[in-house]
Amino acid sequence: MIQAKQARCVCALIAIGFGLVTSTALASRVAQDRPAQTLCRSQVAWHIADIDPRFNISRKALIDTMTAATQLWNQAAETPLFVHTRDQGIAVSLIFDHRQALYDQLREMFDQAEQLSKDIAQADQDLAVLNAEIDELNTRIDSENQQLQALQQDFEALRDRHTNRRGQVPSSVMPKLQTLQAASQEVHDQLQNRIREAERVRYRFNTQVAERNLLAEQYTGLVNDLNRRSAAQGADTNVGEHGIFIRQRGRNVEVAEEQIHVFRVSSQEALLTILAHELGHAIGINHLPEPDAIMTARLESQLGQLLPQHLSNADRRALRVVCQRAAGR
């Protein structure tokens, strides 16, 4: 008895946000562009098989995303290449393993680093406010100190001018001296309060500087750890967003057992891209060298930057070649 051979196409996409690229070698480029013809007529059925609950993705959400992925190819072919069924055709599964677990850890670390960065920025703003408050207090202290010195000089000048040889001051001058002395005391008290307030603000400032520096140390350590783990992840040839399309064949007869496995989901957009990529393999499209193609073997992205959500011209050309080949042209 001849055992069925199993053909595996392992497609590795980049880890979102960490600049890690793992991929299979680029496949040969498809044939040159040919006139557009709608020749793909056979439908490929698909259904949802297994969803690991740790992905936190509902069956409906996966069906909706898979439907959106099939629509990319359906619209390009101008015919329903793919059709959703209950339990027939390609089995689509979300398989949770060390790749998703590691990505979740890295994503959590990245979120922590991002929050620390925001906290540091907020701390810098708070320090700027405190620094401005200290400058304002210093300005007031200088002004009140000058005011106190002027009052003291006026007091001494008035006293010296009216003091007789016996060291006595006429009673008529005493009210003016007392007024100047009271004003000096009031300004002196204000000045002392202002100095104490400035000392409290400086203490808060120094405390927040220490806290800010601690945040910066935590941020640096976290980023270094994140880079180290990301580099370790990149050394794993199976790291990234993977989809596996498996086709089993008997003797010259294709066995209707096809699967799409997604091992890591970083976002709804990334899931759409990987599903569309694997659907392309399901209809016979190899990897393309164009970096903007859904079927590229190297799909790079950064956090906040969307992966390809539409078929490129290269994808459409490859689809036409496959359809023409299927029609015997």
Instruction: Write down the domain spans for the chain.
Output: 5-104+238-326, 111-234
Q: How confident is the model over 53-81, as a mean pLDDT?
A: 93
Could you read off the pLDDT of 11-62 as tens digits, one per residue? 433 333 333 223 332 222 332 332 333 346 678 899 999 999 988 899 999 9
Tens digits of residue pLDDT in 197-236 = 999 999 999 999 999 999 999 888 888 887 777 666 554 4
φ, ψ at 302 (rounded to 5°): -115, 160
Tell me the C-alpha to C-alpha distance, in Å, between residue 15 and each of 174, 200, 206, 271.
86, 49, 41, 12
User: Angle at Cα 184 formed by Cα 180 and Cα 185, nearest 5°?
Assistant: 120
Q: With beta carbons less than 8 A apart as the criterion, state whether 276 and 294 touch.
A: yes
Residue 83's nearest CA partner among 58, 104, 106, 63 is: 63
DSSP state of 1: -
Q: What is the pLDDT of residues 267-316, one digit of tens each?
A: 788 889 889 988 998 888 888 988 889 998 765 443 344 577 899 999 99
For residues 167 and 289, what is the distance between their CA atoms, to the nearest angstrom? Answer: 104
Classified by CATH at the fold level, domain 5-104+238-326 comes out as Collagenase (Catalytic Domain) (3.40.390)
Report if pTM > 0.85: no
Which CA distances in Å does 87 have to 71, 94, 142, 221, 257?
A: 20, 16, 83, 49, 12
Residue type, 309: Q
- State the distance between the two ends of the chain, measured CA to CA, in whole angstroms: 35
Whether residue 2 is predicted with pLDDT greater than 80 in this model: the reply is no
